[in-house]
């Protein structure tokens, strides 16, 4: 049984690949290694998986890992490639897919809408077509807490209405859920959408708050605190996310409903100022704070109701924010002082 993980050079995809190969699964990783953020970080993640930069730079050729040998291979490819993607599915005999490749980021979608349609809609459709024509057993795909948009009921439940997205990023993720529903219904494909809530941890994304704050504090620069600090997030540690995704992708799909959507979060809302304090404590240094107004497209508060995931997969996130932040800071210090 081969699992295709798209977005394998990305933050969550890299960690998921590590977990899957460690547990003995055969994995094909795919990523186009775009330059939305520092590509060196993406190449470094792949190096951890035994894929050299020299190989990872080449498009549409599959390379085996020097560490995990037959268990892990990588191909640089665009999801939008309507010729190459179907060929990859045929050649590799993919039986399960975890789609983590996407144009992420709420703020970036305001200035760069096209890239969200290319990757998250056109690329995603291409993937659905490949699942359809290759009898893929299970498609697990990344959605986002941002689909809750203007929802005010706390905590956010998958039973709440998500018809009010306030960024194109959120609209693209909601579209993914709708498209999955159609393909599950028409072609009997088992699909599971996961609404991730602010994922953080080692090898994390340079465009997200934890990285931006840590980097600014380390370099003696001020941090931008939006909405004057009146924000709350359900920060979820990467290992808890990966454990949840792992349980779902390795489960036997025939026991489940064909179409499912879950929240995957820490089940707890943390004040932004407390999160900043955890970073300051981990770094042993105070941040100079620039208090700023709310940004368009952003929401004040997120909080995941994960009852369904606990019930169906015994999902139990257990990383406290101060512990998780410390692990990120330790990684940041070792990675950037090498």
Distances (CA, A) of 162 to 2, 28, 255: 33, 33, 27
Q: Which is nearer to ligand NAD, 199 or 216 (CB)?
A: 199
Residue nearest to ligand NAD as judged by C-beta position: 10
Compute the distance between CA of residue 141 and CA of residue 194 in angstroms, rounded to an integer.
6
Of 19 and 42, CB closest to ligand NAD: 42
Give the pairing of strands 69-76 and 26-31. parallel
Binding region for ligand NAD (CB under 6 A): 7, 9-13, 31-34, 42, 78-80, 100-104, 119, 123, 142, 144, 196, 198-199, 205
Q: How far is the CB of 219 from ligand NAD (least distance, A)?
A: 22
User: d(Cα 261, Cα 195) in Å, to the nearest integer?
Assistant: 7
Output the CA–CA distances (angstroms, integers) from residue 239 to 19, 132, 140, 243, 246, in the order listed: 9, 31, 17, 6, 10
Residue 135: CB atoms within 10 A of its CB come to 11
For residues 233 and 225, give the distance between their C-alpha atoms in angstroms, rounded to a whole number. Answer: 13
Least separation, in Å, of the C-beta of 194 and ligand NAD? Answer: 8
Residues 6+ apart with CB under 8 A from 298: 106, 107, 226, 227, 231
Considering the complex, state which of residue 63 and residue 196 has its C-beta at the smaller distance from ligand NAD: 196
Pairing of strands 94-99, 138-144: parallel
Which residue's CB is nearer to ligand NAD, number 91 or number 286? Answer: 91
Beta carbon of residue 25, minimum distance to ligand NAD (angstroms, whole number): 19
d(CA 216, CA 333) in angstroms, rounded, equals: 13
Minimum CB distance to ligand NAD, residue 325 (Å): 14
Q: Which residues are catalytic?
A: 169
Q: Are strands 270-271 and 232-233 parallel, antiparallel or unpaired?
A: antiparallel
Minimum distance between the CB of residue 149 and ligand NAD, rounded to whole angstroms?
13
By beta-carbon proximity to ligand NAD, the closer residue of 117 and 273 is 117
């Amino acid at each position: 049984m081969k699992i295709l993980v798209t977005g394998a050079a990305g933050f969550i995809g890299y960690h998921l690949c590590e977990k899957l190969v460690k547990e003995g699964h055969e994995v094909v990783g795919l990523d186009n290694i775009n330059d939305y953020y520092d590509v060196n970080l993406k190449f470094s993640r792949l190096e951890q998986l035994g894929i050299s930069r020299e190989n990872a730079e080449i498009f549409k050729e599959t390379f085996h890992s020097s560490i995990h040998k037959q268990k892990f291979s990588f191909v640089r490819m665009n999801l939008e490639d309507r010729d190459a993607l179907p060929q990859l599915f045929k050649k590799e005999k993919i039986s399960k897919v975890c789609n983590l490749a996407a144009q992420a980021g709420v703020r970036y979608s305001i200035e760069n809408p096209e890239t969200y349609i290319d990757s998250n809609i056109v690329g995603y459709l291409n993937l659905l077509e490949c699942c359809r024509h290759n009898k893929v057993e299970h498609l697990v795909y990344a959605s986002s807490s941002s689909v809750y948009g203007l929802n005010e009921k706390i905590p956010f439940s998958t039973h709440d209405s998500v018809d009010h997205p306030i960024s194109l990023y959120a609209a693209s993720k909601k579209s993914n859920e709708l498209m999955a529903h159609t393909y599950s219904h028409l072609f009997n494909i088992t699909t599971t959408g996961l609404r991730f809530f602010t994922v953080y941890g080692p090898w994390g994304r340079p465009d997200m708050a934890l990285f931006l704050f840590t980097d600014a504090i380390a370099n003696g620069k001020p941090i931008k605190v939006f909405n004057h600090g009146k924000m709350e997030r359900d920060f979820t540690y990467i290992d808890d996310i990966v454990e949840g995704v792992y349980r779902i992708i390795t489960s036997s799909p025939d026991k489940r409903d064909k179409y499912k959507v879950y929240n995957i979060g820490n089940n707890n809302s943390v004040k932004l100022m407390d999160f900043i304090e955890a970073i300051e404590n981990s770094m042993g240094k105070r941040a100079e704070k620039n208090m700023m107004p709310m940004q368009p497209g952003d929401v004040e508060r997120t909080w995941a109701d994960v009852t369904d995931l606990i019930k169906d997969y015994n999902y139990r996130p257990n990383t406290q924010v101060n512990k998780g932040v410390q692990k990120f800071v330790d990684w940041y210090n070792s990675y950037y002082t090498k």
